[in-house]
Amino acid sequence: MEKLIELLQGVRDDVDFGTCTTLVDEGILDSFDIVEIVNVIDDEYDIEVPAIEIIPENFNSAEAIFNLIQRLLEE
């Protein structure tokens, strides 16, 4: 999880990814940020995030993103 937080900070260093649980719902992350996060995940974890998984629930918190990564790694 620490590694993921560091990667997310690389995308947006002005966001507290450690505690925020409404990143998409409150408009903290915009669509460009999410595309960047998906690219970072693809590069760092060598997985492809399917378009069907790019939904607010999967990107509202670092924990949700972490769970998405874990799920995709298991598939």
Q: Cβ neighbours of residue 43 under 8 Å, at least 6 residues apart?
A: none
Model confidence over 36-60: pLDDT tens digits? 999 999 999 999 999 999 999 999 9
Model confidence over 13-39: pLDDT tens digits? 999 999 999 999 999 999 999 999 999
pTM of the predicted model, to two decimals?
A: 0.95
Please report where in the chains the tokens 């966001």 appear, as a residue.
15
Query: DSSP code of 17?
Result: T
Q: Could you give all domains of the chain from N- to C-terminal order, each with its CATH number?
A: 2-74 (1.10.1200.10)
